Chains A and B, each alone.
Chain A
Amino acid sequence: MFPDFLSPQIISLIWQSTLDTLTMVAVAAGLGTFFGLPLGVFLATSKRGELFASPLANLVLGTLVNATRSTPFIILVVAIIPFTRLIAGTSIGTAAAIVPLTVAATPFIARLIEGAVREVDQGLVEAARAMGATPLQIVRKVLVPEALPAIVLGLTLALVSLIGFSAMVGAVGGGGLGDLGIRYGYQRFMPDVMAAVVAVLIVLVQLVQSIGDRLARRLNKRLRHA
């Protein structure tokens, strides 16, 4: 479409940036789910009178989650540079960018999962308790499977948000599509690159959303499917 503008070098740059974005988002989402799932389940089950009742821990973790979530992402990226360096060995580059992305994704995913788990009918928890299930069995066999369609939708939302966040990690040399758009599209006045970056992002988000929706629908057995 832009034979004169999108040179092979630019196209390979866009390709590389897309891969970087996908890597950052995928790893951050994976790690975010790894930490966020247990955290979310705990937040959903640890208030007074609940399965893992420990109101104090719930309050502390809840506050921590809120604090992280209320920090603007770009400030978070800068604020945790020492931590990033500790984990990744450097504070610059795509690998380093995964640290703040994960730190931002974890509480976000935790809240989404908390919401999904809280939606599970308490009657099911009671039924499982009446069968003699341990709290962990209740989580594994009842809460998570029953919340799964909502969890998948939540993770889809988190992925889309992460694609957005990943554009900001260019600030620490994170690379990826956002970085490409800023450096080439904006700073070098190359509107074709900017347009291409936006187009790729639109396609990515569209793809993630429709795969997520489809998966959630398939997992949801609550609707009659004749």
Chain B
Amino acid sequence: MNAPVRPDAVVVGALPIAVPDPAIRFEAVGKTYPARRGQQPVTALEGIDLDVPAGAILGVIGRSGAGKSTLIRLVNGLERATAGRILIEGENVTGLNEAGWRRQRRRIGMIFQHFNLLSSRTVFDNVALPLEIAGTPRAEISAKVERLLALVGLSDKSERYPSELSGGQKQRVGIARALATDPKVLLCDEATSALDPETTRSILALLKQVNRELGITILLITHEIPVIKEICDRVAVIEDGRIVEQGETFSVFTNPQHPTTALFVEAVTGVEVPAHLEGQIRAVPREGDNLVLRITFTGANATAPVISRLSAVVGVDVNILAGRIDAIAGQPFGSLLVSIPARLPESDAVLGALRALGLKAEVVGHVS
């Protein structure tokens, strides 16, 4: 009675317990555009291995031209993979024909950078469109659309046209429309890139609400690192058609492995040296200079009273030059720029104490 154990099953004792299928799975997926006359074929994506766990929010970040638009369009068949397999809730969708894809797409919502609302339809009729396409009876459509508009907070705009709405309101309509057919997966194609920071925040909050309350898995692509920081449980960094790094957002942000990732996360995690100090920090110390350190806090350490402990334990004066504490994927993370006396043994004692507290400290330079 040796039942074959699925490779993705966890065996506890003798009983295989199935791990739920990821909402979306890419297996060695590639996309190559055939050669145009007089040109080489273009490889947009290569060797993509990526799991989007059910119920998660996964963000793919990359510069423009990195392949993220192609990647997200492979999930609903707007583009077709030329290598590998794509599985949606365990079902292989790679070989689907157009009719098969149409059925599949009704289970996958999508929102766009430029909203793509029909200018000739009211807000109500825009949200009703996917239901009309799916052949939903009129009476059902009406109740459903009203519920969705209430969810996104636009019940009072039902009879307005898109041209009468702000960008944020348009994207709310886009979200309501994408949710109309009760999808399991929502694809967000640069959904906040055309919005101002404040509106971005409110749209991200709505996406998070949709994810938590409706249990919808979200795959989003963006070039804006704050979007990842704000709502993504997991992140994948894409460059030149390959995923160069992926993992939980917090660990990727606090410990980036790839230079591209480091560059992206620096903008939100690194404390830059303030402009007025930049000219004063020297690589080579002079007599009586202080040492400048960058201390990085992660997780629980971020809230520990580090500075007072340093002063108390080591007995040195710690001067704070700059600092910032932020949340990444809901976990606190911060960094601090401080100066301490450069004299031995005090400086060694400080570095030792920091290490003992589990903090990362690096010497940035010297300042008088």
Contacts and interface: CB of A to CB of B under 8 A. Distances in A.
A222 B163 contact: yes
A226 B160 CA distance: 10
Interface stretch (A76-84, A128-136, A184-192): A128-136
Contacts of A145: 118, 120-121
B368 interface: no
A141 interface: yes
Contacts of A137: 133
Interface in B93-139: 101-106, 108, 110, 112, 114, 116, 118-121, 129-130, 132-134
B313 interface: no
B132 A224 contact: no
B76 interface: yes
A132 B133 contact: yes
Contacts, number: 69
A221 B126 CA distance: 13
Given A128-B133, A132-B130, A146-B120, A123 B112 contact: yes
Interface residues of A, number: 25
Given A129-B105, A130-B110, A132-B106, A222 B133 contact: no
A130 B106 CA distance: 8
Nearest to A124: B116
Contacts of B130: 131-132
Contact of B76 (A121, A124, A130, A146): A130
Contacts of A127: 110, 112, 116
B177 to A, nearest CB: 8
A60 interface: no
Contact of B102 (A134, A142, A219, A222): A134
Contacts of B101: 132
A124 B121 CA distance: 12
B115 to A, nearest CB: 8
B157 to A, nearest CB: 14
Nearest to B187: A130
A26 interface: no
Given A137-B133, A141-B132, A145-B121, A132 B116 contact: no
B78 A126 contact: yes
Given A221-B163, A224-B163, A224-B164, A133 B133 contact: yes
A172 interface: no
B181 interface: yes
Helix, strand, loop or mixed for chain A's interface? Answer: helix
B187 to A, nearest CB: 8
Contacts of B106: 131-132
A132 B118 contact: no
A85 B284 CA distance: 100
Contacts of B121: 145
A224 B104 CA distance: 36
Nearest to B135: A137
Contact of B114 (A123, A130, A134): A123
A148 interface: yes
Interface string B251-272: 0000000000000000000000
Contact of A221 (B76, B102, B104, B161): B161
Given A126-B78, A141-B129, A221-B163, A132 B102 contact: yes
Interface string A169-210: 000000000000000000000000000000000000000000
Contacts of B134: 131-132
A132 B109 CA distance: 10
Nearest to A224: B163
A75 interface: no
B120 A219 contact: yes
Contact of A121 (B102, B116, B129, B164): B116
A131 B120 contact: no
Nearest to B113: A123
Nearest to B120: A145
B220 to A, nearest CB: 15
A130 B119 contact: no
A221 B105 contact: no
A58 B155 CA distance: 44
Contacts of A129: 78, 105
Contact of B119 (A131, A134, A221, A226): A221
A223 interface: yes
Contacts of B112: 123, 126-127
Contacts of A222: 119, 163
A163 to B, nearest CB: 29
Interface of B: 76, 78, 101-106, 108, 110, 112, 114, 116, 118-121, 129-130, 132-134, 161-164, 181, 187
13 contacts: A123-B116, A124-B116, A129-B105, A130-B105, A130-B187, A131-B129, A131-B181, A133-B102, A137-B133, A145-B121, A146-B118, A146-B119, A219-B120
Q: Please list the 10 inter-chain residue pairs (A to B) with the smallest Cβ-Cβ separation, ordered nearest first.
A: A127-B116, A132-B105, A131-B130, A123-B116, A221-B161, A130-B110, A132-B106, A132-B102, A145-B120, A222-B119
